[in-house]
Amino acid sequence: MTRTEQLDKWVEGESIHRGTTREEGECCPDFSCCCPECLAPKKERELFREAYLKENNDLQEQMLMMFLGSAIPKMTDKKVYIAGDAETHEA
């Protein structure tokens, strides 16, 4: 299954973990293949697929961080801090 096929199914509500095993595969952007209650609203799934198809990496990254932030409390009761590199943009 290609990433685009996975995204198409995910947008329609079928969350499929891409690959043969969880360790070697690729989760859906919102992790709903491994955590069904993490399924993002359809409008968000459509927006992410559009960003992927248009290669809008900034929007994809923002949405992936949003999905991750939403999924962590549903997947563990531990406190988790997500750190990232801040990019510097010149005008």
Give the pLDDT confidence of 41-87 residue by residue, as tens digits.
999 999 999 999 999 999 999 999 999 989 988 888 888 777 765 55
Read off the DSSP letter of residue 41: P
Q: Half-sphere exposure of 48 toward its Cβ, with a 13 Å CA cutoff?
A: 27
Q: Kindly report the backbone phi and psi dihedral angles of residue 18, in degrees, each rounded to the nearest multiple of 5, phi listed first.
A: -85, 125
Residue 91: the pLDDT is 42
Residue 62: the pLDDT is 93
Two tokens, residue 51: 């960003």
Q: Is residue 24 part of a domain?
A: yes
Q: Is residue 23 part of a domain?
A: yes
Q: Is residue 86 part of a domain?
A: no
Domain count, the chain: 1
Q: Kindly report the backbone phi and psi dihedral angles of residue 61, in degrees, each rounded to the nearest multiple of 5, phi listed first.
A: -65, -45
Domain that includes residue 57, residue range: 3-75
Q: Is residue 22 part of a domain?
A: yes
In this prediction, residue 37 has a pLDDT band, given cuts at 50, 70 and 90, of very high
Average pLDDT over residues 12-21: 88
Average pLDDT over residues 17-36: 86
